[in-house]
């Protein structure tokens, strides 16, 4: 039997949960694959973090292996590579999460000002396409462009009277600039989609009012468009901050060379190298757990600060 409740002085019968689910079963059926995906891919593997506290043995399995406590955490923080890896990861995370962040907003604002729909669609398609290319293809293209003597960039430098034999990927001082250019080219179009959707929801009457007050197009962008998408910018920034300690494995693994190893060796690469290549699964799990906890702390901190000073927050 369902319980009764009073709404505006009228007694309303509250149906049981299973009846409400049954009445909207097509919607719940559509939701089911997403729920199963997140349970199997995102929540079940969390149990594997127990490896960070165990001396894993194939014979005994995860739950039968001996406990070692915080041994692997102490090993990592006492290791020679610890702070070098952390600083490299933070540097690359800053480039990807903070330095690249405004460019997608700028592209969305520029696309919104294009009134020729055919040209706008072609431009959007061109900027979106790199996102669907794999890291292997993009890095291979970059290697061909930056190759000494035969690469396009070196040929241009040579034609202008410079030295066309520079091996850019073998020199650490060029690594961050190469990574920034490559990652920005790949993601700027895709990241701008959300901002374009947010801009399209801004009330057009606000633009008319701003125009009547004497605002030009730049003034309308500053006083109407940007405040209108402030919430979206804040939410994406908060989520992006959580990736400061995650540089991404594929790009870094493919871009690493003996010459740039000092700046390209990050925690993500180190985890794969130690865990899969050396078979130290517990040690690698401990480092991965540290990354996850730091990311959680950063998201919570950014959310708290944004909620306090801008009234924009995830929760």
Same domain, 167 and 267: yes
Same domain, 25 and 85: no
User: Span 27-50, mean pLDDT?
Assistant: 90
Same domain, 235 and 304: yes
Same domain, 143 and 9: no
- pLDDT above 90 coverage of the chain, percent: 40
User: Span 272-296, mean pLDDT?
Assistant: 89
Distance, CA of 266 to CA of 261 (rounded, Å): 9
Q: Is residue 314 in some structural domain? A: no
Q: Write down the pLDDT at residue 5.
A: 60
Q: Is residue 57 in some structural domain? A: no
Q: Write down the pLDDT at residue 192.
A: 92
0.95 surpassed by pTM: no
Q: How many other β-carbons are positioned within 10 Å of the β-carbon of residue 283?
A: 23
Tokens found for residue 182: 């490559």
Instruction: Tell me the three state secondary structure of residue 133.
Output: coil
Tokens found for residue 16: 């049981």
Tokens found for residue 185: 């080219």
CATH code at position 290: 1.10.3720.10
Distance, CA of 224 to CA of 312 (rounded, Å): 17
Instruction: Tell me the three state secondary structure of residue 150.
Output: coil
Q: Among 107, 139, 138, which residue's Cα sits nearest to residue 124?
A: 107
Confidence of residue 184 (pLDDT cuts 50, 70, 90): very high
Instruction: Write the CB contacts of 86 (distance below 8 Å, at least 6 apart in sequence).
Output: 245, 267
């Amino acid at each position: 039997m369902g319980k009764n409740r009073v709404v505006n002085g009228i007694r309303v019968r509250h149906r049981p949960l299973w009846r409400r689910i049954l009445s909207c079963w097509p919607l719940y059926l559509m939701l089911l694959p997403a729920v199963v995906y997140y349970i199997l891919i995102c929540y079940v593997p969390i149990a594997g973090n127990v490896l960070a506290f165990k001396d894993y043995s194939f014979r005994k399995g995860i739950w039968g292996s001996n406990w070692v406590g915080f041994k692997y955490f102490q090993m990592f923080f006492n290791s020679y590579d610890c702070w070098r890896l952390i600083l490299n990861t933070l540097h690359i995370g800053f480039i990807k999460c903070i330095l690249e962040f405004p460019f997608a907003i700028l592209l969305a604002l520029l696309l919104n000002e294009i009134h020729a729909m055919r040209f706008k669609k072609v431009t959007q398609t061109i900027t979106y396409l790199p996102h669907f290319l794999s890291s292997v293809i993009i890095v291979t293209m970059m290697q061909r462009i930056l190759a000494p003597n035969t690469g396009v960039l070196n040929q241009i430098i040579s034609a202008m009277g410079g030295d066309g034999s520079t091996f850019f990927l073998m020199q650490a001082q060029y690594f961050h600039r190469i990574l920034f250019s490559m990652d920005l080219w790949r993601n700027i179009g895709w990241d701008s989609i959300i901002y374009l959707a947010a801009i399209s929801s801004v009330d057009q009457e606000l633009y008319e009012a701003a125009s009547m007050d004497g605002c030009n197009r730049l003034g309308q962008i500053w006083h109407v468009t940007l405040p209108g998408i402030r919430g979206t910018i804040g939410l994406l920034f908060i989520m992006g901050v959580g990736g400061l300690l995650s540089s991404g494995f594929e790009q870094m693994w493919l871009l690493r060379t003996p010459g740039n190893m000092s700046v390209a060796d990050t925690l993500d690469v180190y985890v794969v190298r130690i865990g899969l290549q050396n078979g130290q699964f517990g040690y690698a799990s401990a480092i991965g757990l540290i990354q996850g906890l730091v990311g959680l702390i950063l998201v919570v901190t950014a959310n708290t600060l944004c909620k306090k000073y801008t009234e924009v927050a995830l929760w």
